Structures are given as structure tokens and as C-alpha cells.
Amino acid sequence: MSSTTSNPTLANARIAVLGYGSQGRAHALNLRDSGLDVVVGLRKGGPSWERASAEGFTVAEPGEAVRGADLVAVLTPDMVQPALYKESIEPNIKAGAALLFAHGFNVHFKQIAPREDIDVILVAPKGPGALVRREYEIGRGVPSIWAIHQDVTGQAEAKAKAYADGIGGGRALLIKTDFKEETETDLFGEQAVLCGGASSLVQAGFETLVEAGYQPEIAYYEVLHELKLIVDLFYEGGIARMLEFVSETAQYGDYVSGPRVIDAGTKARMKDVLTDIQDGTFARNWIAEYQAGLPNYKRFKQADLEHPIEQVGAKLRARMSWLQAGAAKAAGEPLKKVG
């Protein structure tokens, strides 16, 4: 479905989208369908190059894509961005162009020092690429946040909003932030709640039931499988909707037992996590880990893969035909954001 954007700021601009993963593909397709001129920058020979070409884009090596572009959107993983900037962006981006990120990590933690003659902006949809594309195609959009780090042309805000409009965010909601707030809250959410907090809570709950003598299969359903039902209710209408749709027994258990598990000590440790993010400790550790070849990262990941809940879960999920159908449909569209 094509829909020309009504925002004229980028109407005559060439946009280089670097990366063609979940977000990169969605942004490129939406921008093109909004009537904007898009070139995709990729390393030659990879599957992404072939896919972008097959989907009708002009595809070029990153440096060539950047050369002459009026806006360069960096939609590659965080840890490859500093080298990409040094090798392909900094020598080629023209004065007065805009450099756009979807996550502020490298600018905020000074792994990238953008040239002083360009605008530096951020636009981040609050959803995975597949959702950004799907909502655009049906005439809606995903709320997006935007920020300005550097405005040399006086048009940085207009460019950020025009880009957000081009990917569909303006149809929903645009929220102004800054690189610091976006980076630090994003990292905290991932670590304390969405990924680190949730997975550790699930594992601890599973271990508690199994160690008490309950069947691993029952434990899996109670602490992991059914979590989706609760999260969907959160997503649709907040905590109030969740409480509306669970039993009174579950509500009472929520009130009296939730604070016993997630207590003041938990919140204090969350504050420690936030402090490590704010003072740069996490960023320094993660950069050092990546540069060392990810030895601890690989060890942590393997331990998670070997946890008994994964072994039990794999067997149970194989018997749930609706999950297999959903996985097949989502193949090639990982629910992953940049950053």
C-alpha cells in the first residue's frame, strides 16, 4: 500500500538506510511507500543485499550509499556502528546532511563523535520492525520517540519529524526525548524488567517449583507459558486490565505476595543497575566484552540455553501446533529492535 507523506521536509531528499534487518527493512519500505527516495547501504554479497535488491531497492556499499545522501539512517547493531561510522560515514557524509540513529548508545557514550557540520537526530519506533511495517501497511503507525543531538542547519527537528512521518510514527504519536534519556531508559528497561528481570524471575519460579517436587512440565506452564496471557493484558490496558481479567483469587495473591517477591531490596538493586547505566559502567563493560570476543557473553548465553526450563519447554512447545504455525509465519522477521 503506497501513501505519500504530507510532510515536505524530505520530499526531495535522498535517504540512505544502512542495514536491512528487522528495523532497517521496515523503515526502508515505509519510507519508499511514503514517496521518499531510498537507497540501502549493505556489505556486498550477503543475504540482506539479495533481499533488498529483490524487493526493488537500489543497494550499494555503505560508503557509496552515504555519499550524496541528505539523511543517513544507521540501523545496524550497536557494536558495529563505531567502525561503520569511521570507515563509511564520516569520510562520505556531506556537510549539512542528517545522521539518524534509532538508539542513542554510541553517541551518548561517546563511541561515535559525529562531525560538527552535520545534524544528528534520533527516531525510534516503540515496536519491532515487523509491527512497524504491518501497522503502516494498514494505514496506521507505531508511536515513535525523537531527539536532537546536533542541529547545524536549523532543520534537525523538521527532519526528525519528517522521517518519523515517513515510517508511520506521525500517524500514531511522536514523543520528544533526548539521547541521554532514550539510551538510559532503554537499557534499564531491557536489563531490569523486559529481558534480564523477566527471564531471571521465570527461571527462579521454575526452580522453586521443581525443587519442591512438582513436575517440570507443570512448572513450565505455570511460570513461563502463561506469562504471555498476562503480558498481553498489560499491553492492551495496563495493570488495571490484567486485574480485570484474572480471578479474585489471583488478584488477592497479586496484592499480598507480589510485594514479598519484588520488594524494597529489589528496587534498591534496580537503582544499582540504573546507576551502572548512568555512570557508564555498563557501557564500558559491554564494549570491553565485545572487543575481547564475547567470552562471558557466550558463557552466559550457553548457561541459559542449558537451563532445564529450556529442555522441558522445547518438548512441550513441539506439541503445541499453534506455536509451530506462528513460528513459521514469523520466520525471517525476528522481533528485535536496533539497540
Q: Which three cell numbers stand for residue 116?
A: 560538527
Q: Give the pLDDT score at 328.
A: 60
Residue in 23, 33, 261 with CA at minimum distance from that of residue 128: 23
116 plus 207 within the same structural domain:
no
Q: How far apart are CA 119 and CA 116, in angstroms?
A: 8
pLDDT digit string (tens) for 201-215?
A: 999 999 999 999 999
Which of 148, 178, 208 lies at the terminal end of a domain, its last residue? Answer: 178
172 plus 248 within the same structural domain:
no
Q: How far apart are CA 177 and CA 145, in angstroms?
A: 7
Residue in 50, 55, 18 with CA at minimum distance from that of residue 33: 55
Mean pLDDT of all residues in 94-123:
98
Residue 268 falls inside a structural domain: no
6 among the known binding-site residues?
A: no
| DSSP for 93-112, written as a single string | PPTT-EEEESS-HHHHTTS-
Mean pLDDT of all residues in 252-261:
97
Let me know: does 16 contact 100? Beta carbons within 8 Å.
no
Measured in Å, how far apart are the chain's first and last C-alpha atoms?
28
Residue 269 falls inside a structural domain: no
Q: How far apart are CA 131 and CA 137, in angstroms?
A: 10
Let me know: does 185 contact 104? Beta carbons within 8 Å.
no
245 plus 299 within the same structural domain:
yes
Percent of the chain with pLDDT over 90: 91
97 plus 201 within the same structural domain:
no
Residue 209 falls inside a structural domain: yes
pLDDT digit string (tens) for 21-62?
A: 999 999 999 999 999 999 999 999 888 999 999 999 999 999
Residue 223 falls inside a structural domain: yes
Let me know: does 72 contact 97? Beta carbons within 8 Å.
yes
Which of 118, 150, 178 lies at the terminal end of a domain, its last residue? Answer: 178
pLDDT tier, 338 (very low <50, low <70, confident <90, very high otherwise) = very low
Q: Give the phi and the psi of residue 169 in degrees, each rounded to 5.
A: -65, -35
Which of 153, 178, 203 lies at the terminal end of a domain, its last residue? Answer: 178
219 plus 160 within the same structural domain:
no
186 among the known binding-site residues?
A: yes
CA–CA distances in Å: residue 239 to residues 49, 88, 137, 224, 330? 43, 46, 30, 18, 28
Residue 6 falls inside a structural domain: no
Active site residue 307: no
152 plus 43 within the same structural domain:
yes
- Candidate list 27, 103, 108, 149, residue with the active-site label: 103
Residue 201 falls inside a structural domain: yes
Whether residue 333 has pLDDT greater than 60: no
118 plus 246 within the same structural domain:
no
Q: How far apart are CA 89 and CA 38, in angstroms?
A: 16
- If one counts every other C-beta atom within 10 angstroms of the C-beta of residue 91, the result is 12
CA–CA distances in Å: residue 253 to residues 91, 193, 257? 60, 21, 5
33 plus 79 within the same structural domain:
yes
230 plus 201 within the same structural domain:
yes
20 among the known binding-site residues?
A: yes
23 among the known binding-site residues?
A: yes
Q: Which three cell numbers stand for residue 266?
A: 529489589
Let me know: does 16 contact 72? Beta carbons within 8 Å.
yes
Whether residue 257 has pLDDT greater than 60: yes
181 among the known binding-site residues?
A: no
Residue 281 falls inside a structural domain: no
Residue 9 falls inside a structural domain: no
Handedness of CA 75, 126, 26, 6 (dihedral sign): negative
Handedness of CA 83, 88, 91, 93 (dihedral sign): negative
CATH code at position 92: 3.40.50.720
Q: How many domains does the chain have?
A: 2
Residue in 200, 209, 182 with CA at minimum distance from that of residue 270: 200
22 plus 168 within the same structural domain:
yes
160 plus 216 within the same structural domain:
no
170 plus 35 within the same structural domain:
yes
Structural domain range at position 81: 15-178
Looking at this protein, which amino acid is placed at residue 265? Answer: G
Q: Give the pLDDT score at 324.
A: 76
Task: Determine the Cα angle at 319 with ends 315 and 324, to 5°.
Answer: 100
pLDDT digit string (tens) for 268-305?
A: 999 999 999 999 999 999 999 999 999 999 999 999 99
